[in-house]
Amino acid sequence: MKLILIGYMGSGKSSIGEKLSEVLNVPFKDLDSEIEKQEDSRITDVFSKKGEIYFRKIEKEVLKKTISKKENFVLATGGGTPCYADSMAFMSKMENVVTIYLKTSLDTLCERLFAEKAKRPLIAHLKSEGEVNDFIRKHLFERSYYYNQADLIVETENESIEKIVEKIILKLF
């Protein structure tokens, strides 16, 4: 089974994905890392040098190539991955694929992302916590349509990584 973690940036897809793959004894993949390998460049550089449209095109290509592999794994996607092109529809129609939305509150996302905004190309330019909050609120509103199409929705609020992994496993099996 291929488990695809979706959700807004800062929702814990990578941290939870690594732990989930360890518990299930399957490989962990990070879509951003796969893109960086293909492009031989960091995501921030791809965004700044080639733009978001180019990035989304490559993201879709790498997603399809990764999911089409025969092996089972846990994949952490980027926050926007399910929202562009036909990516969510593609993931939903694939056999042996389960999409899991890590649903995280606006306040938690703002707190996490403001602290690390320099590493996030989409929000690096924002100056204040209020600007980050407004940006995330707007994005969550736009993206929730796609996120809520996931096979499983897992609330992450005030839960440890271990507890979230346990919730996912209980919903799966």
Q: Could you tell me the fold of the domain covering 2-172? A: Rossmann fold (3.40.50)
DSSP annotation of 125: T
Q: Residues forming the annotated binding site for substrate?
A: 32, 56, 79, 143
- In this predicted model, which residue has the larger pLDDT, 59 or 173? 59
3 — pLDDT class (breaks 50, 70, 90): very high
Annotated binding site: 10-15, 32, 56, 79, 120, 143
- The annotation places the binding site for Mg(2+) at 14
What's residue 118's pLDDT? 80
Can you list the alpha helix ranges (DSSP code H) found in the chain? 13-24, 31-39, 43-67, 87-93, 106-115, 129-147, 161-172
Arithmetic mean of pLDDT, 111-130: 86
The model scores a pTM over 0.85: yes
Interior angle at CA 100, CA 95 and CA 148, nearest 5: 105
Rounded Cα gap, residues 120 and 133, in angstroms: 14
CA distances from 1 to 46, 70, 75, 79, 169 (A): 31, 10, 11, 22, 12
pLDDT value of residue 85: 84
Domain spans in the chain, listed from the N-terminal domain onward: 2-172
What is the spatial distance between Cα 148 and Cα 101, in angstroms, rounded to a whole number?
Answer: 7
Which segments are annotated as binding site for ATP?
10-15, 120
The stretch 84-106 carries a mean pLDDT of 94
Confidence check: pLDDT of 121 > 90: no
In the predicted model, is pLDDT for residue 100 greater than 80? yes
Mean pLDDT across 30-55: 91
**For the chain, what is the mean pLDDT?**
93
Share of the chain above pLDDT 90, in %: 82
